[in-house]
Structures are given as structure tokens and as C-alpha cells.
Chains A and B, each alone.
Chain A
Amino acid sequence: MRLQNNKNLGQNKKISFFFDGKKYYGYEGDTLASALLSNGVYLVGRSFKYHRPRGIISAGCEEPNGIVQLELNEFTEPNRRATEVILYDGLIAKSQNRWPSVKYDVGAINDLLAPFFPAGFYYKTFMWPPKFWKTYEHFIRHAAGLGYSPKKEDPHKYEHYHYHCDTLIVGSGVSGLYAAQIAAAKNQKVLLVEQENQTGGSILSSNNHDNKISDKSQTQWKNKILDELNKLNNVRIITNTTLFAYMHYNYLLAIQDLQPNKGTDKANSIRQIVWKIRAKKVILATGSIERPLTFNNNDRPGIMLANSVSKYLNGYGIKLGKQIVIFTNNDSAYQTVIDCHYQNVNVVAVIDVRNNLEGELPLKVKQLGIKIYTGSIISNTSGRKKLKTVQIKKINQKNIEILNCDLLCISGGWSPTVHLFTQSRGKLKFREEDSCFIPHQAHQDTLSIGSCNGVFDLNNILNETYKSVNNFLNTNDKNNLDGKRYDAELNKTGKQKNAWLIDRENISKSKMFVDFQNDVTAKDIKIALSEGFQSIEHVKRYTTNGMATDQGKTSNVNALGIISELSGQDISNLGTTTFRLPYTPVTFGAMAGRFVKEFFDIERTTPIHSWHTNNNALFEDVGQWKRPWYYPKNNETMDEAVNREVKATRNSLGILDASTLGKIDLKGRDVSEFLNRVYTNAWSKLAIGKCRYGVMLGDDGMVIDDGVTTRLGEHHYVMTTTTGNAASVMSKLEDWLQTEWPELQVYLTSVTEQFGTISLNGPNSRKIVESLFPNQNFSSESFPHMSFKELKIDGVSCRVMRISFTGEICYEINISASYALSLWNKCISLGENYNITPYGTEAMHVLRAEKGYIIVGQETDGSVTPIDLDMNWIVSKKKYDFIGKRALNRSDTVKENRKQLVGILTVDPSIVLEEGSQLVEVETSLPMPMVGHITSSYYSPNLGRSIALGLVKSGTKKKGAKLIVPTINKSIEVEITSPVFIDPKNERLFA
């Protein structure tokens, strides 16, 4: 039932929504929970294990029961807390974990079988027969889980937002708002974050009569401060934003719901933003969470946290219940009685575990004529789908009394919300008198104020906030804080009495729920302890207490209390489990932000890329690069296209876009000495205008890169690296220079993207360069293999190298990237008469394999030395040292039976081996001893047969030997050969 004079929702628009297919009405500004409750819907879900009927118990993010499947199809979201869902017109929600309906749920049979499902039962059974676990598991998995994962793609977008501020304040209750006012007056750049859709925190559950701040009702006080803050431009307030992680160096993460009340009409819009905040100082004003009490059948729909009932009443104008009973161990729940009294809601009785009530609130209640049962407990309740009665008895007495009621408000005291404080590595201490973990030592520049700091009295909060915030911000400016001192009436509060296990004798025979969502009872905790699970972490893991979607906000401290009582240890000797991030669950999509789909990873393309796409190229991902793989013509298969490209290149003229190769510019006095140290061969005598191939090792002796380096001038070189290793080679070279050899004068610049590289290959390549550079002599005498010239085309400088990765005559032209496409086009048109054929990486691989050239990362895998590659010739014996030299002489690296690079030819020339195939000497039963594997394998159209390269144990000595490649369905006979299949005398290369 809804009040008329409701301060928050009074004038709002009435809207409709659907729960389990039925249409209801609520108001704009409602949460789904408040709207359901205002319609008298208490039963909203079924519990995880026993499928017990459950109702909403709270009004915030601690809610363990009221979780729903929100919306349908692509908009659906499992496990949303009804207490956090802001109502919008047409909202659709469904209860979870029930079949066929929340009222009639077949799974409820588990509740009857509960005696056989104690904590950890699954560790003790389902073991036989061994093969049956899969079957058991099938049923267990389908019984577990709560809501359903979406089955369609998310229509929404997400964003990340970086924010820097002086003071971050988390929570906008009394202390948070007050802290913001003080920080603002001190000229701080302030960010105030509030998880709910409106500021106020506990103010939202206050009534207009009591607990005034400087003679204003709390709502009036809040509005005044907000008015003031809103006028300032150094204060930003964001609502619907949950701070979920507090990490190193005051780095905090928050998630903001941008359209909490817009629903499904905004596909493609941004739904949530993750704020990444770096704050100089952080003030935590995160409040506290009320604890339930643990007694038999304490989970019935209609049993709610006392303060939440006040919030629904004062904040949403909802009268819950007609006959209310209160059950408490502390004074705060009496405020709920008074709140109800103001709204003429009938409170039948208050049950208080304490014998003596000393506080002012209980006195007030007594004066209202409401019956208080002191020294009493509730020992049971009835009403399966909605609370009907409670059973009361005096502590240590047998007589029971039964009271009819439709709402039971419970309060077991308060737990300060210290989650973020401990995430920041702050240390807690335990305060015995009200069983609170409170902040003890901050690890970062962090201040906790208000009830999250264990301060509950309003006047104390106001005083403490003023003092500690001023102190904490410690700025020297003398801003006027006059008129910013507030006070409240001092209330005498009675002592709280611990009531972890109020009916201890009956613990094994009753269902006293501690973790409502995971159905963990006090009995489960007792079983865990008796089975030797004594660490709090063991109890948590064995019982699953605190591991549900509410992350134990209402259950963790209660579990500690119960363990303490049962084991006779102080809570302060038990410790806590870790308060893990996130504070509340965070959408994966929001964490990914916009870095999905086209923004998932950078796509690097060459300056000639558009030509490739226009000419039907298929692409291969090499690192982040898109490289043309092959260019099918008409309806060619891949094999046909590659064979055509390979043959055309070998016979006439092929053109390759080699722009992706890494290029590092080296300048300075000591480059040749530097190259001597990082490459295995000697560089001192390389003449200007000459090129040399080098192999680079790690200091473990293993090959990490190879490429050609050209000497452009006296102190100027350019090094090429493999496409994939360009960045790591650059980093490694900088590392050596800066940290080991600062005495060397060498300057490195990555110029990979500054140049486009066009590689003209084949016997007719000389014809093209002769047309491109008509005044140059390209004969082998004047421009031999492994040499370089700086030339110009139409006034544009080009670096032309005669180097080769195909074994054919090849000219590699490097030109400023912006001219690369036009030069490519020019080459294509000049080459028409020679059947110029663009070829991709696949043909490139075939061409180099025919010639026995290796590819780092294909013939090598981090365990291959240059000696293994049969490249002794490139390892200098004269140099005293180079990177990797010492490691080549270790006892394992000098072994003769290491795997070595060889050529492999199948006896049947038509069979192309699969790359990665293993080689054996004889076929045996499994495991079959392997002697090597195939690193590269292709059909060579020039040879008219298959060829392969491989690494084989003692391979260099085994030329001519026969091996077997056992595939799934046949054994293929192969022969070890030289890895050079074409032109072993280099006649074509030097032509």
C-alpha cells in the first residue's frame, strides 16, 4: 500500500511493468523491489540449493534473495538485484531458479531432502561408478546456476572514462555530503560517487520528525547542501555509479549506469561507463549494512531487515505489513517502530534479546504502548510463501508464545562497509562491543568517515566528519567554514548484545540461514567445524558461505560470529576472508569497453594495402599486420593461385609488398662494433653500399631474429628484422645500448612505417629497375648481389638493395611510405610485358623453402641454435664475444645429436606433408619415439613435387636416411636431404 504524502515519489508518473508475466504498476523513481512490494509481491525467487520460497529482505546492494532475470532476448540480464533495478515503463522481469513457477517449484523437493544435503555432501558421494560422474554432473549443473546467460549479442555499447581529482568521496550520505562541502570549500576538485539513483544514503530512510540536523529534517539539510554543491564548478556528483575496486596508488574503478530507467529502447547506445579514477585523496563514506539475525526459518518471505522497512516506508512511501513484529539485539530497530508509528502501521510487538533496555529509542517505543519482550528470541516462524506467525520464547525457558504477523523486521546490528578500505590494503580491527570490523590502519591516502568507520551516532558523525576531513585534507587555505558546523540531538544508545546463535541447542535440527542465497545454515557451519575445517577460509569454501552473488554482504560477519560461538574463539582471533573486488558485480561488456570487434586490436596495414584489397587478395594475420596471403584469380583454388604466383616469380617476375619487415635505422660512431656484439658474424669490414645477412641470438644461444643490414654511409646503417619481431628486437637493442654498453655511440630509430618496401623478384626483375632508373647500370658487375644504391625516381629518393629471399635476382626498393603505392602501380604497369605477378606470403614461403631459406619462428622455436640450422658459416669463431656465444658452448648445446635442419622429401612426390607432422625411425606401439618434425612443407610447382624442411636429431649427418611420418590413417615414407632444393650453386641468385 502506498502513502499519499511520499516525499520521493509523490508527484511521479505511474508506470507499468511485468513480473513473471503479470502486469503491475509502480512509479518513476521506484526500484523494482519497491514496486513489487508496493503491489504486495513478497515471493520473488527460489533459493539456490533447497529452492525455498524467498522474498526481498533489503533495499540495497546487499540483497541476497530478490534477484531476477531482467528483460528478454538480446536485452536479457541474469541475476539482477530487484533492489537495484530502477523501474521504467514496460520493464519485464522474471523470477529465477524455479520450474515451472515461483509459486509451484518442483525443485522444492530439495527442501524436504535437505537432511541429506548438508555442507559438502557432494564431496562424500557421487563417486561410484567412476564413469558416472559425468552423468551426476549433468544433473548437478542443470540444478545449479541462477539465471540464464543471454543467447543473443549485446545490443549496447560501453565506454571507459579516465578521471583525475583531488578528493574522491565515495557515498553521499550525511558524512559524504558533508565531506564534499568541506572539500569544496577548500578548493579541492571533488568527485562524489553515489551507487543509488539519488544521493542521501541513510537520509533516504529517515523520517521528517526525528534525528534533525541543526534543526532541519535530514531531507531539508541534504537539499540545502546539494543546492550549494551544484552551484560549484569544482564538485562533480555522479549517481547510479558504484565504486567497485580500490587498487594501488589511489586508482579506483567505478561503474556508472547511464540509462538505468530507459530500458530497452536504446539499442546501440552506451549503457554503462567504467570510470578509472586517480585521486590524490580518497574519503570513504560508504555507510554500513544491517545484519540479519540467525534463527530457525528466518528466511520466509515477509522477514526483512528493519532499516530497509524504514526505507521503503519513508523513502518510497510503502506500508509493508499490517501486523508488524520487530526482532532485534540493538536500539536501531526501534527507529523502525517509531517510523511505523508515524504512518499508523500497527506494530504488534518488539522482541529484544537484551534484558535491560537503556537507550532512549526503546524508552520512546515503550511510551507508545508497544509491547516489548525483553530477554526473548524468536525460535521459529510459519508461513511457507508468506510469513504468518512467529514463535517467541524467553531465553533459556521452554514456554513459547505464538504471534500472528505478516511482517517481521529483524536487526542483528550493523557491519561497516569496509570493503573498499580493505581492498586498498587497509587493516581492520574488531570492536567487541558492537561486533564491528572497523578501519584501523589505512595503507594509502584514505580516510573513512561515518558509519563505515564505525561511527553510528548522528551527532558524532557530524563532529567526526568536520574534524577528520579538515585534518585529512590539511590544506593551508583559510577558507571560511563558518556556518558549516552542524549538530544533532544526542541520543543515548543502549548496548548491543551479540546474538550470533540465539537458539544454540537446536542448531542441528533447524534451518537457521546465514547465507540466504547459497542456503548455508548455522548447521552447515557446525558440520564444517566438526570435520576439521577450522580456518575461516576453509569454512567459507566448504560451506560456500559468502560466495553467492551478494558476496556475503549480509552473511560474512554472522558466519564469523557463529564460528566464534561454536569454537569458543574470539572473532579477533579468527580473521576475515578477503574482501574481494568487485564490490558489486560488474558487466563484462563494460570492462571491455569499446575494445571489442573492430577495436579489439589494432590492424596494421601497409601503404599498398588498398591495391591488395582491390586485387582480390586474401590476407594473413602476422602479428598485428594484415599481409596479402595470395591473390586468387577468377575461380582459382588456393593451391592454383599459389602455384601460379610461385612459377611466375621463378620464371619471369614476381612482386611482393615487403613493407611489414621491421626496419631500424642505426647511426653513430660505433654501429659496426654494436653489430659485432648483437649478431653472430663479423661486421667490421662491411663496406659502404654493401648488405650483409645476420642472425641474432639471445644470450641463451637460441635464434631470435634474422635479417639483412645495409651500410648506407660511414656511420649509418639500416637493419631489417622479421615482421613479427620488429618491436621486440628494437627493444632488446635499446636495452643493450642503454644498460650494458652506454659507452657505444649508436642511435636507433624505428623506421618500419616510414618506408614502403617493394620487392621485385625473378629473372626479369632487372628489366623493371632498368626502366625505373634509366640512367643506372644494374649489371651484376656494377650492382652485385648484396649491395645497395641510393637512387631517385622523379626526384624521390629510393633505397634500392639487391638482396633476395627467393634465390632469384631481386631488387628491393624502399621508398617513403607516401609514394609506395604509386611506385607499386608503376612497377605493375612496367611489368605487364613480363607477366608481373603479385605474390603473397604463401608463395613467398614456397619460394624461400625451395631455396632452403629459414623463417625465424617456423624453423625455429626458441630452442634452436644457428649450429642446429646448419649455419656454422655465420657464427664467427674469431670474435671474443657476441650475444649468445657463451651459451653455444654449454654441455647441451654442443651435443651432436641435437635436432638439426634438413630437407625432407616424400618418397611419393605427390604427397604434401602436414606442417607439424612428427618423424620417427620405426613405427612402434605408443608412445612412439620421435626424432624430429616438419617445420615447413609445400608443393613446389617448379620441382613438380612436394618439398619440406624439418628439424631432425643428428639430421645433418643423416642425409639419405629414410624416416616415417605416421599420420592418422597412413605412414608416409620420407628421405632426409639437403634443405636446398633449387640452385644449390647460386647461379640464379648471382646472375
Chain B
Amino acid sequence: MMMDRRDVLVSGTSAAALGMLPWAALAQDAEPEKTLEELIAEFTGGAEVTEGEGIMLDAPEIAENGNTVPISVEAEGASEILVLAPGNPVLPVATFKFGELAGKHAASTRIRLAQTQDVTAVAKLADGKFVRTAANVKVTIGGCGG
């Protein structure tokens, strides 16, 4: 991911100011309202979802700071991509909808992860089919191997 020095400083200091421990510590005692599969079914309207082909989810294997984890998703010709974090207290992360002037159907952002988990992305492709993929991210709290 490309960030200039200023971006690094801004995100770094604000993450430190917020404190990363409370958010992660709270994650365990809040019950998610809907399960991962329920949310995916809601997104697809119950249609069949195939694994892999046609969708790419890029995330670091190890995230030292769960408060800001860079991810990027890409699905050629997709109209929508849903990103879910099954290990978070609130599973949905973001839904990207691509318009007619979108270039490559890809986007990068930074997300919060409460714990080590399989970040999941589901895309609605141009032909109306759905594909999903997942990437395991290890979250080491405090950066000293939690």
C-alpha cells in the first residue's frame, strides 16, 4: 500500500490515541447479531456462491495492530463486493458498489480486526453469479505476540 509519511504519522498517532486494547478486549463479550453465512445469504439472496475464481482479497498474514489493517479487494467486472470480518463484534466491514466509470473493479482501505480471523469477501459478478474468498489474518495485539 502506498502511504506518504504524513499519512503514516496521522494514522499512527490517532490509533495510539484511541488505544487498541479496549476494542479488542471487548470483542469477545459482544454476541454477533447475524452469522457469517446469514449475512452472505442476505447479500446473495440465497444464490449459490462458489469459492475462489474471479475474486481476490489481499490482506497481510500478520497484522501487528488490529486497529488499522490494510486490505484490498478486486473482482473483475463485479458490481458489488461485500467484505466481512467474522471475528469482529460487528461482522460487516464494507460494501463496495462499482459504477460505470470505475476502472479496475478494485478498492483498498484500512479496517479494524478484533482478533485473528478469516476476513471474507463476496462479490457479485457481471453475470449475476457470486464468488467468495477468505484471507487469514493473524492479529498480534500490542505487537509483541499476543
A binds B: no
Interface residues, chain B, with chain A CB atoms under 8 Å away: none
